[in-house]
A and B are shown apart, each in its own frame.
Chain A
């Protein structure tokens, strides 16, 4: 029956499955899946491959649910930023109510699947991660403090730890190091973006560091976090989690990261006012250093985790003499 009995003021949904998939932030999901997979593969306990796949799927679903809930809550500020105004809710393709329901159902299913396929600790941490991203970061920090991304970055850092716990059932030092790498990577990554998109964030009322404390403070903070990131990235070599391949990739990419961060510090990125309005990612000439760092930061995280995946998934792990006795799994 094609008629529905209701008043004609009702809005009939034109939302298609692809709109709901867009709500899940597929690009963010792909990075989450990748890092979770690395955590699972690098863990010293072998898991049934089907259950491992299901666990990674549950993490992906959980990440998608967090993305949906974030888009539901942030629809008002998404509508004001060029980068996000075409998302399904501000564009009017999906109503907020169905989006909220979709996110909550997905989150529940993700946690249940994780509990069934792996263990309750992994399921509990997955539930906490979704809660942290939605309530602590999106509702609590994002619109209130310039440190939003520093603390909120924990949500994106949990997936490899969840993958590790899914396999081992416990939290180990190596799992904490995988968490710490992403946690320290997040601020310079997002601040580089915020430096050349500060106008957008300011307009939407999001207190990103360049908006609240200025571009110069942000550029200095980027360098400090980059140095910390480089140091923590090399720590898995000391625990024995990372072998020669990881040590080489980690060291070279960390040096490149720090050099690009220093280049940002000496640039004028984020100094002048409005960004170019014509295009989504057009940036001013002075912002090139920040844009380069932002682009490289994605490559950095991929390279570092891919090295671990190759070592533990393809048997390329060659122990270095730098491992400290008593550390690691």
Chain B
């Protein structure tokens, strides 16, 4: 099997992509959490007497 070695430039680009994907995933989870909490809070307020 043949191997290729990533250049420094390719490694840097890969690291940047990995960080961006990580941040995007974290942001999406945080957003889903915040939206859920607010919606639940709103629904509770609407149903409580």
Using CB atoms and an 8 Å cutoff, list the residues of chain A in contact with chain B. Answer: 2-8, 10, 12-17, 20, 48, 50-51, 54, 57, 109, 113, 116-117
Count contacts between A and B, CB distance < 8 Å.
60
Known pairs A3-B3, A5-B2, A13-B17 / 18 extra A-B pairs, C-beta < 8 Å: A4-B3, A5-B1, A6-B3, A12-B10, A13-B10, A13-B13, A14-B13, A16-B17, A17-B16, A17-B20, A50-B34, A51-B35, A51-B39, A57-B31, A109-B28, A113-B32, A116-B32, A116-B36
**Interchain CA distance A124-B16 in the complex, whole Å:** 34
* Interface SS majority for chain B: helix
**Interchain CA distance A13-B6 in the complex, whole Å:** 10
Residue contact A7 to B2, C-beta cutoff 8 Å: yes
Residue contact B38 to A51, C-beta cutoff 8 Å: yes
Provide the residues of chain B in CB contact with A4, threshold 8 Å.
3-4, 6
Residue contact A5 to B34, C-beta cutoff 8 Å: no
**A17-B16, A51-B38, A116-B39 in contact; A3/B32 too (CB < 8 A)?**
no
Contact of A16 among B2, B13, B31 (CB under 8 A): B13
Contact of B6 among A2, A16, A50, A54 (CB under 8 A): A2
Provide the residues of chain A in CB contact with B42, threshold 8 Å.
48
- Check: B5 CB closer than 8 A to any chain A CB: yes
Closest to B10 in A: A12
Residue contact B35 to A116, C-beta cutoff 8 Å: yes
Closest to B27 in A: A57
**Interchain CA distance A13-B10 in the complex, whole Å:** 7
Contact of A14 among B4, B10, B32 (CB under 8 A): B10
